[in-house]
Amino acid sequence: MHKAVVLLSVLATCLCVPPRCEPGDEALGRCRVPGKEKLQCMDMVLSYCQDVPYSQTTFPNLVGQQSRPEAELSAEYLLLSVLHGLLNGECSPDLRLLGCSVLAPRCQAGAIRKPCRSSCEAVRRSCAHAFEAIGMAWPYFLDCDRFFVSDEEGCYDPLAQLRARQDVVFANISDGGQTTVLQFTYHSNAQMFSILKKTAAKCPQISRTYSLGRSVEGKDLLVIEFSSKPGQHELLEPEVKLIGNMHGNEVLGRQLLIYLAQYLCSEYLLGNERVQTLINSTRIHLLPSMNPDGYEIAASEGHLFNGWTSGRANAQNLDLNRNFPDLTSIYYNRRRFRRFRNDHIPIPDSYWMSKVAPETYAVMKWVRSVPFVLSASLHGGELVVSYPFDFSRHPHEEKMFSPTPDEQIFKQLARTYADAHATMSSTNTDRCGASFARNGGVINGALWYSFAGGMSDFNYLHSNCLELTVELGCDKFPAEEELYPEWLRNKEALLSFMESVHRGIKGTVKDTDGNGIKGAIISVKGIRHDVTTAEDGDYWRLLNSGMHIISATAPGYAKVAKRIRLPPNMQRVGRVDFVLKKAPVEPDLDYYSIPELDNYERFDPFNQFEQYGWAEPAEPNEERTEKPWWWAYFSQQGMSNPSWLLRNY
């Protein structure tokens, strides 16, 4: 008898004919004959699915769970119950309602009605980044092809009522949903990653996210970029970077850059001409947190209990703003040469013998790979903009005016930020930052206090980039209620600062055949600091108004000089192009006698940083030695481990 039943079942499977039920199977829900037997619909019994747009469900559900107890004790149902907390409210309740449509399917007229594939695909497009941010795979039971069907197959939209309620809430918004409502609260690292990726997904035509590398504890150093062509350098388009949270307990800059990313995306979509012009003519890179490990320490103490230094350093207890190569000392030592070169100073091999933080390494590599023109590092603890040099020209003087050759343009750039800030340039001596009131809220870094190994000095002496340090306020970890007022104080300053990259001149250096010359040297008479051309021969030189003599030269080419005049209040950057003719050039013996001049391309010569590479994916059947932080939600419940939540499985 049993053999006959088995044979019939096999034949039925092969011929696509429903198998014959054994006695009692139908009552247990193990065997139903479509078209002949109706399903037994029951009231919705799963507590986390009470707000679905239907009242009747049935078992087994779409993943084969036979009963309510089996469903409630499953990892799938547990995931629905904790998703809001895991994703910090991201995509909630959309994901939960979508999951309920599979785990507690709609039962109507004695049959299961499946959810729409289009609804699932829309949620996955919007929410996949949230799972990526916490290192979790997209849940298998939300497979849009497997458990969802098309409109032609008679599906229903499990999110229809939710969308209708949202439409009522936003009925008075006339921008088609393009406005982003900024949440002026502190964001965890996972929330920050999620917001940045969601912003890039909202504005894919002008933005993308990418990682510079990882922190000591393995967190992404995530950058969001804005450009008319994200992911590529456009000829003559200047590049700007803003870096926050270099010191983990100085948190306001981190929040401001998160808000700025959302603002740029929304305002571009809404047609804000100023924002559109900025993004269409500039490539902008925002790194909200250079020190995510330190931030977690500071955030664990919170605003009321955070000390002046808790979380300042990275997880190796290294101050990142003292961890860069000390090129300033090399610059001071080279002044004895008649024509010493004080730009693009190589990193000495001795630097790599010391402890170099992976965060520092990632930023140095970033600076070397992108032709940045302008940069700001956002800090906290005072209210002032400081500019290089940060290291005193006399090693025993802790407060000594130590200007760069670009003192005037640095000061003007600092003034741009301070004057656009609501209070930074105020002469009120009772305010935060009152000690800088007589200077209008700007100061030379070494005159304030001297230190070596700073990021701003490194940018100036190793690349074409001019970087300022912006101290945003006296409270390193302000209360949440201060976040909105601080955004209002700094928004115009941030925009004005980025716009100031279009100050001075730009152009191309080409040979007589029209080919761009990489690495050509652009000099300004009277300013002993040169810039070099990028990959395609384009360059940018930040300058104040006035008369300037600009020259271009490259090895094997004759030098060309031009006199230009930049009028006051010039609204657009000047265009100065050069065409160089090939000519034999006699070497300057003094120039070539400078030690280490030919070592610029040497970077990490001892390969010290392979340890910070991405871990290799596990083999298909190999147990991973390290589990994500959220694994404890499931491993402590006594259920079978849901390996389907792990990426690379």
The residue among 140, 103, 98 whose CA lies nearest residue 122 is: 98
For every residue of 464-492, DSSP letters joined together read S-EEEEEEEES-SS--GGGHHHHHHHHHH
CB of 88 closer than 8 Å to CB of 191: yes
Helices H / strands E in the chain, number of each: 20, 20
Our CA angle for 530, 513, 542, nearest 5°, is 25
The burial class, CB within 10 Å (0-12 / 13-18 / 19+), for 274 is exposed
- Enumerate the β-bridge partners of residue 521: 532, 553
Rounded to whole angstroms, the Cα distance separating 514 from 510 reads: 5
Tokens of 321: 């703003």
- Quickly tell me which residue has 């034949």 as its tokens: 11
The one catalytic residue among 90, 471, 492, 601: 471
The residue among 297, 302, 299 whose CA lies nearest residue 315 is: 297
CB of 378 closer than 8 Å to CB of 244: yes
E-only strand ranges, 246-401 = 283-287, 372-379, 382-387
Rounded to whole angstroms, the Cα distance separating 53 from 29 reads: 24
CB of 507 closer than 8 Å to CB of 533: no
Rounded to whole angstroms, the Cα distance separating 307 from 287 reads: 24
Distances (CA, A) of 17 to 2, 10, 77, 102: 19, 10, 32, 25
Instruction: Output DSSP code: residue 22.
Output: P
- Quickly tell me which residue has 């679905």 as its tokens: 52
The burial class, CB within 10 Å (0-12 / 13-18 / 19+), for 102 is buried
Phi, psi of 588 (to 5 degrees): -90, 110
Q: Does 237 qualify as catalytic in the annotation?
A: no
Sign of the Cα pseudo-torsion (213, 83, 643, 626, in order)? positive
Phi, psi of 93 (to 5 degrees): -95, 15
- Spatial neighbors of 409 by CB under 8 A, at least 6 apart, are 466, 503, 504, 542, 543, 544
- Quickly tell me which residue has 């935060």 as its tokens: 432
Rounded to whole angstroms, the Cα distance separating 312 from 10 reads: 67
Active-site amino acid positions: 471
